[in-house]
Amino acid sequence: MINTTEIEHIKCLIIGSGPAGYTAAIYAARADLSPVIYTGIVPGGQLTQTTDVDNFPGYPQGITGPIMMEDLKAQAERFGTQVRFGYATEVQFSTDNSVHKVQIDGSKWVTADTVIIATGATAKWLGLPSEEKYNGFGVSACAVCDGFFFKGQDVAIVGAGDTAAEEATYLAKLCRKVYMLVRRDEFRASKAMIHRVQNTANIEVLYNTQTEEILGNEQGVNAVRIKNNITQAESVLDVTGFFVAIGHKPNTELFQNVLDMDETGYLLTKADSTATNIAGVFACGDVQDHVYRQAITAAGTGCMAALEAERYLASRAD
């Protein structure tokens, strides 16, 4: 039993600090909801691991991911948001319109009238040391985000599902050559996506192929060493970009058996809304978006979540 007599009460608690979380904070603060953000283990989220961001409106010369997130943080703080380093470790969401309870850092409990979840998703990686070494310097998990930087160049992409097929065809519009590395002897993608890949002239699919090492220098990636897992023959592809498209994992372990989610763990929200199945709890950004996964769409749903939190509180006050 939690003793709530000395627990801090928050009108709008935001869990997570990527574009969705900070945008939610900006709107919530301007609506006098006195938002408090707990940043999570990686303040700023995935964008802090991105070198250049060229597709977020308002930055005509581009911006680095870490600087952009500092800008969003400063803007949220300008309107009175409290940004705190810490992460949620347990939740007790109310189903009877009373306050929600969230444990921070495994010890401190807070209560909240509304909770906005913006914990994001984490890209799945191959686990190679060279992959980590060149992450942001030729290695990427988002073709839509970073493909532009490889215009007219040769690149490789790993994956066999719909996302990999879609990103390969996207890259093919920009790049001279796209090598698609598939571990098995077939795709996992839908027939429509397979046909699209097969009908794209500058995509070469290499089946039964696994990545052994990403090669490069101080300028970044310049090749990838691959192996045919049937013949064991190794070869080197001269590429300047290496894309990993083997999926994302939403950061939703905390909400298992509490909030509705799909079979892969993405939180389910109501149609045209960020509302979850529990009143007063909203989800925005990549934690509930497995389709677009862009900074700008995350920011848009962060705005939606704050507006819905404001309306929810107003309806309770009536």
pLDDT band per the 50, 70, 90 thresholds, residue 45: confident
Q: Is the pLDDT of residue 71 over 70?
A: yes
- Looking at residue 312, which CATH number applies to its domain? 3.50.50.60
**78 and 140 in one domain?**
no
Residue 84: CB atoms within 10 A of its CB come to: 13
Q: How confident is the model at residue 293 (pLDDT cuts 50, 70, 90)?
A: confident
pLDDT value of position 247? 85
| Beta bridge partners of residue 83, listed in sequence order | 37
Asked about 146 being catalytic, the answer comes back as yes
Is 105 one of the catalytic residues? no
Given the residues 32, 96, 113, 142, select the one marked as catalytic.
Answer: 142
Catalytic-role residue among 32, 52, 54, 146: 146
Among 244, 265, 284, give the residue marking a domain's end: 244
**Do the domain assignments include residue 2?**
no
Q: With bands split at pLDDT 50, 70 and 90, how would you rate the model's confidence at 72?
A: very high
Least confident of 91-100, 175-184, 202-211: 91-100
With a pLDDT cut of 90, the percent of the chain lying above it is 81
The reported pTM is: 0.79
Q: Which of 141, 160, 164 has its CA nearest to residue 47? A: 141
Question: Is 289 marked active-site?
Answer: no
Q: Which of 145, 175, 284, 303 is catalytic?
A: 145
pLDDT digits (tens, 9 = 90+) for 262-292: 999 999 999 999 999 999 999 999 999 988 8
- pLDDT digits 0-9 by tens, 47-58: 876 667 888 999
Tracing tokens 């995935």 back to the chain, one arrives at 46
**Eight-class DSSP state of 281:** E
Q: Does one domain contain both 129 and 240? A: yes
Residue 41 counted as domain residue: yes
Q: What is the pLDDT of residues 131-176, one digit of tens each?
A: 999 998 999 998 988 999 999 999 999 999 888 998 999 999 999 9
Three-state DSSP class for residue 178: strand
Residue-averaged pLDDT of the chain: 93
- DSSP lists the bridge partners of residue 226 as 211, 235
Q: Are residues 67 and 117 in the same domain?
A: yes
Is residue 27 within 8 Å of residue 306, measured between CB atoms? yes
Task: Specify if 1 maps to a domain.
Answer: no
The count of structural domains within the chain is 2
